[in-house]
A = this chain, B = another copy of it.
Amino acid sequence: MGSLVNESFSIELQQLDAASTDTARKERTQWLLTSPNPPSLCHELINTVKETVLPHGKTTKQSRKGAFFSFMQGLFPILKWGRNYKATKFKHDLMAGLTLASLCIPQSIGYANLAKLDPQYGLYTSVVPPLIYAVMGSSREIAIGPVAVVSLLLSAMVPKLVDPAVDSIAYRNLVFTATFFTGAFQAVFGLFRLGFLVDFLSHAAIVGFMGGAAIVIGLQQLKGLLGINHFTTQTDVVSVLEAVFRSFNKEPWFPLNFIIGCSFLVFILITRFIGKRNKKMFWLPAMAPLASVILSTLIVYLTNADQHGVKIVKHFKGGHPPSSVHQLQFKDPHIGEVAKIGLICAIVALTEAIAVGRSFASIKGYHLDGNKEMTAMGCMNLVGSLTSCYIATGSFSRTAVNFSAGSETVVSNIVMAITVLLSLELLTKLLYYTPLAILASIIISALPGLIDINEACHIWKVDKTDFIICIATFFGVLFGSVEIGLLIAVGISFGKIIVDTIRPSVELQGRLPGTYTFCDITQFPVATETPGILIIRVNNASLCFANANFIRQRILRLVKHTSEGHIKEKINVLVLDMSNVMNVDTSGIVALEELYRELISQGMQLGIASPSWKVINKLKAANFLDKLGKGWIFLTVGDAVDGCLTSKMDV
């Protein structure tokens, strides 16, 4: 074993045993040359499609009835865990569900307000989607309902098509239609196992995006907090601050809004602080928003503050969610735009839900199937769009509350949904005097959870490129729009992949003392070069049109540079370590042929070490192996060096 034997010993051994070594090496090269053909392109394509579309793993033989039942269990996980559901679990779920409802009611009204919809639509969204998710979803902690970022996305994009201030019904219909598209896209992603599309928003991009979105949402709340009538439909910082200053100059200002909003914001933040310090008081921050709503409503009702400029919710429709089937606008002229909004919301909503679901699943130690989750989310939004709901997804803040409150299963979502439904039936009239400022302060209080400065610092420490993506997305959202932020994130991320492919690194390798391992001589200063042999490794998975010329030039430059340095000993052989190169295309082969010709014209020989499966096959097909000579193909760099030294001895 190479790593065990020291160098001098092995050199002796080599001299003793040069002939048999030579045979062994040739046999190894033969393994390489006679390896079976790699799977064809057609075969690979079929495999990729199969793996993408069909469920994982081999299906074990089952009876038809069993297969159907396991399929149904896959689609409706409730059939599986519902059988073993016990009263003790329900006790926990009931408590968690009630806590969740008390946080969910004020937040839903606030997010509906952020999405420029009437309050009841936020509440509807906390009734239907959680119920659908409960039968189809497999996360046990996630809390379903409207969330801040998606509400912001809708309010930033749909008003460009129809102004809600002008025609609120048409606006609402477009929101339902967008919800339908979101559900459809999510279901398709799940059914066709296209979950990887969600990965296109990298971790760093999400951190930047969430931070930017939180600040934008906070700024939007200035409208409610300051009681401004004429606000802007733009979401960027500059427009919003301009609108605020304009309103200071032009409108009468009622400081009562601000005072009520701020004092309750302080109250909520203090309860949050207490809850954080003392984990057992988790219910305090969860209850605080509802308490604030009740208290502030009472105060306004008793003091008639609404007649002194405090803006209030006023009447909104209660009762169960009505059908919205006939309100979906598929013949709208903006339908293409609406579908695009649906797609963006689908990806952002899934990203949030899967991130939150997966992180809690890994705490509890179970696995979450992303594709099944997507199907569940898609169905819940599809049904939601037919029952007057807008886009629902898993909420960061409420899921954390659900977890702390000891939820055992998704039954807590059912409890929450029923509680919200009861409130809709009975209590909407009580919310008449609720000040809008309190809704703003509830939304603002949920924002710090979205701004993750620690994570941004961590990203800075670990990966500077990722930090650039993070910060560019953040500023894109802040000063451009949510769409621009997302575009920047995806653009930089994929741009980096392309740049890495176009300009891969090429490294000089040396031998580590006492081993037969060859490593980058810059990284390992202990590594030594072998006299007369230059070992160069290509550090990219593909030698293709986009980098073949660059790599060829780099190699030739390294050869020239090293030749100038080694005046004493001429370089005879260039060993190209292709272990990293998984594939080569015709441009790559042309570059290798040119490299070979240029080396020969400089009196050097080219040796190729550890070409991968596809590479050796294509070199064979292109007749390059015959040009090069089969003696110059080696299984490993070690073999190549051995081979070169032997052939030198022979000369």
Contacts and interface: CB of A to CB of B under 8 A. Distances in A.
Contacts of A203: 545, 585-587, 590
B3 A5 contact: no
A582 B5 contact: no
A132 to B, nearest CB: 26
A473 interface: no
A579 interface: yes
A546 B31 contact: no
Given A57-B560, A462-B589, A549-B196, A1 B601 contact: no
Interface in A483-499: 493-494, 496-498
A467 B24 CA distance: 38
B202 A462 contact: no
Interface string A459-470: 101111110000
A173 to B, nearest CB: 36
Interface in A447-485: 458-459, 461-466
Nearest to A557: B56
Contacts of A205: 545
Interface stretch (A13-21, A161-169, A302-310): A13-21
Chain A at the B interface: SS class: helix
Contacts of A195: 549
B1 A546 contact: no
Given A200-B546, A464-B40, A618-B463, A2 B497 contact: no
Interface stretch (A141-149, A261-269, A631-639): A631-639
Interface stretch (A223-231, A384-392, A502-510): A502-510
B621 A465 contact: no
A10 interface: yes
A357 to B, nearest CB: 13
A541 B542 CA distance: 9
A5 B14 contact: no
A514 B78 CA distance: 54
Interface string A527-563: 0000000000001111011111110010001001100
Contacts of A542: 497, 500
A22 B204 CA distance: 39
- Residue among A11, A461, A498, A586 with max Cβ neighbours from chain B (10 Å): A586
A642 interface: yes
Contacts of A585: 202-204, 463, 465-466
Given A503-B48, A517-B635, A36 B523 contact: yes
Contact of A1 (B10, B557, B597): B10
A408 B303 CA distance: 102
Contact of A557 (B5, B57, B541, B621): B57
Contacts of A526: 31
Contacts of A200: 545-546
B586 A459 contact: yes
A41 B10 contact: no
A613 interface: yes
A515 interface: yes
A462 B516 contact: no
B586 A466 contact: yes
A594 B11 CA distance: 44
B504 A541 contact: yes
B31 A524 contact: yes
A38 interface: yes
A35 interface: yes
Contacts of A589: 462
A512 B28 contact: yes
B525 A36 contact: yes
Contacts of A522: 613
Contact of A13 (B5, B11, B503, B586): B5
A465 B41 contact: yes
Nearest to A369: B553
Contact of A497 (B525, B544, B635): B544
25 contacts: A1-B5, A1-B10, A1-B13, A4-B17, A5-B13, A31-B512, A40-B464, A200-B546, A362-B597, A367-B598, A459-B586, A463-B584, A463-B586, A465-B585, A466-B586, A493-B544, A497-B542, A497-B544, A497-B546, A504-B541, A512-B635, A517-B635, A520-B613, A540-B541, A540-B582
Given A201-B545, A493-B544, 17 more contacts: A1-B7, A2-B2, A4-B14, A4-B17, A38-B523, A199-B550, A202-B544, A203-B590, A461-B622, A462-B621, A463-B584, A466-B586, A500-B583, A501-B541, A520-B612, A522-B613, A540-B541
